[in-house]
Chains A and B, each alone.
Chain A
Amino acid sequence: MNVIEINNLTKTYGKARGITDISFHVEQGEIFGFIGPNGAGKSTTIRTLLSLIYPTSGSATIFGKDCVQAAPEIKKEIGYLPSEVFYYDNMKVKDLLKYSASFYKKDCNKRIKELAEIMDLDLNKKIDDLSLGNKKKVGIVQGLLHEPKLIILDEPTSGLDPLMQQKFFELLEEENKKGATILFSSHILSEVQRLCNRVAIIKEGKIVTVEKISTLQENNYKKFKIETKTQLDRNYFNISGVNNLEVNNNVTSFIFKGNINDVMKKIAATEIANLWIEEPDLEEIFMHYYEKEV
Chain B
Amino acid sequence: MNIFLHELRAYRKSTMIWSISLAAIVVFYMSLYPSFARDAAEFTKILEGYPEAIRNALGINLGGFFTILGFYCFPLAFITLCGAIQAMNLGTAIVSKEVREKTADFLLTKPITRTQVLTAKLLAALTSLVITNIVYIVAASIMMFQVKTEDFSFKLFIMLSLTLLFIQLIFLALGIIISVIVPKIKSVLTVSLATVFGFYFLGMLSGASGEEAKRYLSPFKYFETAYILKNKGFEASFLIAGVIIIILAIAASYLVYAKKDIHAV
Interface residues of A (CB under 8 A from B): 43, 47, 50, 52-54, 71-76, 78, 80, 82-84, 86-90, 99-100, 102-104, 142
Contact = CB atoms under 8 A, between A and B. Distances in A.
20 contacts: A43-B264, A50-B108, A52-B108, A72-B116, A75-B110, A76-B111, A80-B109, A83-B264, A84-B102, A84-B264, A86-B101, A87-B106, A88-B10, A88-B101, A99-B2, A99-B6, A100-B106, A100-B110, A103-B2, A103-B110
Contacts of B6: 99
B264 A87 contact: no
Contacts of A87: 103, 106
A54 B259 CA distance: 8
A75 B109 CA distance: 6
A84 B265 contact: yes
Contact of A90 (B10, B106, B259): B10
A52 B107 CA distance: 10
A84 B110 CA distance: 17
A50 B106 contact: no
Contact of A52 (B10, B111, B261): B261
Interface residues of B, number: 22
B113 interface: yes
Interface in B86-110: 101-106, 108-110
B111 A53 contact: no
Contacts of B113: 71-72
Nearest to B1: A102
B2 A53 contact: no
B111 A72 contact: yes
Contacts of B155: none
Contact of B101 (A54, A83, A89, A99): A89
Contacts of A80: 105, 109
Identify the interface centre among B101, B102, B105: most chain A CB within 10 Å of its CB.
B105
- Determine the main DSSP class of B at the interface with A: loop
B262 interface: yes
A47 B108 CA distance: 10
A82 B105 contact: yes
A44 to B, nearest CB: 8
Given A53-B261, A54-B261, 5 more contacts: A50-B108, A52-B261, A84-B102, A88-B103, A89-B101
Contacts of A82: 105, 264
Contact of A47 (B10, B101, B111, B264): B264
- 8 residue pairs, one from A and one from B, having the closest CB atoms: A86-B102, A53-B261, A103-B110, A102-B2, A75-B111, A76-B111, A52-B262, A80-B109
Interface in B239-265: 259, 261-265
A103 B2 CA distance: 8
Contacts of A75: 109-112
Nearest to B108: A52
Contacts of A43: 264
A103 B112 contact: yes
Contact of B111 (A86, A90, A99, A104): A104
A18 B109 CA distance: 21
B103 A52 contact: no
Interface string B112-136: 1100100000000000000000000
Contacts of B265: 84
A133 to B, nearest CB: 17
Nearest to A139: B106
B95 to A, nearest CB: 14
B17 to A, nearest CB: 15
Contacts of A86: 101-103
A142 B106 CA distance: 9
Nearest to A103: B110
A53 B109 contact: no
A83 B101 CA distance: 15
Nearest to B113: A72
Contact of A50 (B10, B101, B109, B263): B109
Contacts of B263: 47, 53
A103 B111 contact: yes
A142 B263 CA distance: 21
Contacts of B10: 88, 90
B37 to A, nearest CB: 47
B109 A78 contact: yes
Contacts of A102: 2
Interface string B61-80: 00000000000000000000
B35 to A, nearest CB: 44
A243 to B, nearest CB: 35
Contacts of B262: 47, 52-53
Contacts of A72: 111-113, 116
A52 B105 contact: yes
Contacts of A74: 111
A71 B102 CA distance: 20
Nearest to B13: A90
Contacts of A47: 262-264
A59 B110 CA distance: 21
